[in-house]
Amino acid sequence: MDSEKSLEKELADEIRAAIASAGPSAQTVSAGEGVPDPVVLAEAYVTPSIPEGAPASGLKKLLLRGSRFLWRNQMGFNTLALEAFRRMRQDWQESFASLREATERELAEGRRRAAIQDARFGLLEASPRAVAGSPVPTSAPAPEIPPAVYSLFEERFRGAPGEIAKLQRFYLQFLSGAPGPVLDVGCGRGEFLGLLREEKIAASGIESNPLSARLCREAGLEVEEGDALSLLSARPAASLGAVVALQVVEHWTAAVTFAFLREARRVLRPEGLLVAETINTDSLSALRAFFLDPTHVRPVPPAGLAFLAEAAGFADARIEYLAPLSPERRLAEATENDVKLNRLLFGPQDYALIARVPRA
């Protein structure tokens, strides 16, 4: 920045020197707080002047006014040139500010990705290496995917944190009046916790992935690391205003999902809110995302999740369909059958169950 300022100052000094050498009369011509006006400057440098006290000065001035058409075009050109230079300088400053902002965002994103990559390398270095004579791998059930590897999977397939936060902003309208703090179960990289912090809504998170939990805490977010159901069960009854689980229940069996809903009902205060987002099983195109994730256990149909929530004691359960596909990824709806096919094949990619604890 210092070099850019010095270059700008040097250029300004050269322009001032050129103006001073061109004609002394222009140094006194200005408009508004000492800022030169382009039109006045152009007229001052293009219009000839008759010194005071010159012989026949009155007649010469009269002839000069009658000959103004000779330099009028040049004056207009100079005016446009000065104005163009001013606008070019302003555009350059705005472009540089935008470039600097974009560069800072890219650097922050690069630091975040580097932290995840470093964790992955550390995990690989700590894992036992294959040695000569070691047994050949069998078809036995594979161990759980390492946390660092799953973090890399999220980086590649889940989307950038800014994009996810933009989609999750939809839920803020339901939580602004929550009767207590919000708990984000399976908070992942902390996108939603960041949104809640911006809105000054008290919130904390639970995350089983130690790498994601550590990155959240380094970002100043309050996150517990561990099993979601165990940590939720340790919370006091009626201590929370809302429980949020975004893209979580598809990682559980039906029994674990129901146990989670019962615990959420226990820890919520009257009129507390439950939000559970998952993949829309009613859209066949959305199921591709379900089977892409190696940690997904079972798809959860909207009607089934709503039933389990009501069985756990929630009321006013409703389904909100989210993340619709863009028109170019859907069929052109020329007939009623096209509409039905779009709903079946290319419907919204996600849905959210929103339910409340009864008042009494």
Average pLDDT value for residue range 259-275: 97
pLDDT, residue 146, reads 84
Report DSSP state, residue 142: P
Residue 135 pLDDT more than 60?
A: no
CA distance 345 to 261: 30
pLDDT confidence bin for 140, thresholds 50/70/90: very low
Residue 252's nearest CA partner among 285, 208, 210, 220 is: 208
CA distance 49 to 223: 77
pLDDT confidence bin for 27, thresholds 50/70/90: very low
pLDDT, residue 179, reads 94
The helix/strand/coil state of 322 is strand
Alpha carbon separation from 349 to 37, 278, 283, 288, 326 (Å, rounded):
58, 9, 7, 10, 11
* Residues 216/223, Cβ–Cβ less than 8 Å: yes
pLDDT tens across 315-331, in order? Answer: 999 999 999 999 989 98
pLDDT confidence bin for 162, thresholds 50/70/90: confident
Where does residue 329 fall: left (phi above 0), alpha (psi -120 to 50 degrees), or beta otherwise? alpha
What is the CATH class of 148-356? alpha beta
Residue 311's nearest CA partner among 267, 355, 252, 345 is: 355
Residue 154 pLDDT more than 90?
A: no
Report DSSP state, residue 170: G
The pTM for the full model equals 0.62
pLDDT confidence bin for 29, thresholds 50/70/90: very low
Strand order in the sheet with 223-225: 223-225, 203-207, 182-185, 240-246, 268-279, 350-356, 315-322
pLDDT confidence bin for 24, thresholds 50/70/90: very low
pLDDT, residue 103, reads 72
Query: Within 13 Å of residue 195, how many CA atoms lie on the same side as its CB?
Result: 21
Structure tokens at 267: 């820890």
pLDDT, residue 66, reads 60
Relative to beta strand 268-279, strand 350-356 is: antiparallel
